[in-house]
Structure 1
Amino acid sequence: MTRSVKAIRGMNDILPEETYKWEFFEQTVHEWLAAYGYRNIRTPIVEQTDLFVRSIGAVTDIVEKEMYTFVDHLNGDSLTLRPEGTASCVRAVLEHNLLYASPQRLYYSGPMFRHERPQKGRYRQFHQVGVEALGYAGPDIDAEHIVMCARLWSKLGISGVRLEIGTLGSIESRALHRTRLIKYFEQYLDKLDADARRRLYSNPLRILDSKNPEMREIIAAAPRLIDDLDEDSLLHFETLQHILRKQNINFEINPQLVRGLDYYNRTVFEWVTDKLGAQGTVCAGGRYDGLIAQIGGKSAPACGFAMGVERLLALMLEYGSEITQSVPHVYIVYQGKAAGDLAWKAAEYLRDEGLKTILHCGGGSFKAQMKKADASGARFALIIGDDEVQAEEVSLKPLRDAAEQTRVELRTAVDLIKKQY
């Protein structure tokens, strides 16, 4: 027997019974971003591996364990399915010189790929919406991103999401803090797990992001980066807090918030929920002023955030957000060659009038076709037989109430249908 071919583990089909929820989410997001002046950018799914190694950081879980990397057998290049969108967005901005004229407000959406153990809210192919603002140095754009998110949660009917903010300071702040962290963790070498010991001298800040419960107490007592901030970084963070308070945005300061990518500096933030188990972060981001130069461009400030679509959809369902599936306005049933000709003409006319219309295909009796019409969810059936052809009319039958079937001209049928919507 031929073995059946199935989807790759952790890479899921999204069936029509679910896609209408995605379409509602995507439409809401597009309108929300347009309201803030963000423009769409679309980048390839596959990039040079070096882009992610240089931007994300070699000593990170993503680069070390999770990237889908392969060698292009045609030219020997090392290529990677994108694990996140910021690096690709910045690469495109630099390659096409978009920052030459003015700062850029951009957004992207689509699939990302990480080789993780699949579980609820975490898949190997997952979807993100990312927002990037490049060329803006002040804390006002950091605050705009956070305020934007709060507005989106309201539009999606999501509550119970809390905001955590922190700061990573400047390069100089982190250098001072790095020395203090190494000295602190060296006292607990026998209690550090393998990942922490490996990162102690290469990237000790990443130890703070460990999920190992046995290290929780040690990490909680570690020196706080916020205590080593330089004056400019502290002012940036305080101004951000001032704007958020004025906008009535509640937040908690989390000194251990370091984010999972190496390119962040100053502001970092996460929107977190307790409704999704271990996968509690639904949106995260911050400032990454060093990334543009790191990738090879002229140094410029930047910040952004990304949100997980699957997790947000799960939250929307958790809070009972009303998402209705689109159904056709009309289902056309007919019998006979002449009736078929009129049915095709009527279907295109109805669509020209903005009505979602299904034209029955596959033949069958009027009774069988009417069953299909009812199952489609349409509010009306448009019936065409020999009598209708002779009279140059159509029969309109309501399917969702007890109103009588009527025979009218096609234009009149359109007016009657539109009155119901």
Structure 2
Amino acid sequence: MQERILYSQNVWVDGKLQPATVHIQNGTISNIHFNKRDTAEDFGDLVIMPGVIDVHVHVNEPGRTEWEGFETATQAAAAGGTTTIIDMPLNASPVTTTLAAFEDKLASTQGKMNINVGFYAGLVPGNATHLEAMLQAGVVGVKCFLTHSGIDEFPNVTEKDLDEAMPIIAKYKVPLLAHCELYDTEVDCGFNENPTSYQHYLASRPKQWENDAIALMIRKCREHNCPVHIVHVASAEALAQIEAAKKEGLPITAETCTQYIYFNAESIPDASCIYKCAPPIREKANNDQLKQAFSTGVLDFLTTDHSPAPPSIKEMESGNLKKAWGGIAGIQFLLSGSWTAMKETLTLEQFIPLVTAKPAAFCKAKKKGTIAVGFDADLVIWNPNDSEIIREEGVFFRYKISPYIGQNLSGIVAETIVNGETVYQNKFIKNKNKGQWLLQK
């Protein structure tokens, strides 16, 4: 493979943006010079940094490929500067709760991986005996729900199920990812009578559900010394207990998603199901606390929880939030959406690790998330200072149903390089199928 040499005044090396020339050969970074080489392509003051890593994505293939699929999801990721995703075990059919289902999932990616893809196994009642085989086959973690997942074939676990599975997961030193909402009965808040009201939807899934579930997972983490990861933290009230668990030395990590820091409940219109996700997007004062939790290290990194669905399932015409599929399509906007949301709170230097090195460490992607000699040449070249209004025609995921359409986002991606090959450049997919499996063996 021909050597490629890139120069910018703003290359993310050794934890800071600085002038550097990066050499790429055979899919890896072969050399770095801290000056400009005559033969280098000069990107001026554009930022060259590691490709973005999104460790929380629902691709829905095989079995529900009409919802999304690896071909479109990985193109959209590349268009947003993301070079690696980790795919969740549910919304596909079969759900990834056995080795056979995991092998089906791997087969379904063939010829469709425009970026790198890793995978989680699923924990459901009764499948703990299947975990070991999937862990040995290379999944990077195990996902469970503490409440109904929205998919009947992926039921939520109980404390008994956790006690059975966590010692197995702990042995492999991979994380158990938990959707943390816990409740006995529905909240009587009038949502049934007001199914198009966003405020009634918000009231139907209170912060207490999250707080109680996170408390349970911290307690189980302590009992089993099993790494636990809290996905999509939306309740700022839960931050204190996560912080205390970390100070105690428990192996616990936590994320939030772009939508929980970019949008606020006060400005979400009624009957607009594009905003429905679970937990719900909460109030601005709550979400400002989530942003601050990155500067204190209570939250570890950002993800999208990309969860697309066809218009009929999303109830786009009826606006019925009670019936609508809960999930936001955002795989293309992890970098630009999160940066737009965070740029008043963190410097760019503080922000970059939240979408690169920190998620790379979480999924043990040892050759990703950093620009260093010998690391994979997964790079994004982008302008954090420029902005654009997102339009449907610029969206690469399957259904152009997303609250980010129409938003003015800071951070325009010029080029996305996967394993040394340009996959996305100047609004176009240039090369396909350059991704590789990320298997943890």
- TM-score bin (small chain): under 0.3
Length-normalised TM-score, structure 1? 0.26
Higher relative contact order (CA 8 A, sep 6+): 2
Higher alpha-carbon Rg: 1
Name the structure with the higher helix share: 1
Length-normalised TM-score, structure 2? 0.25
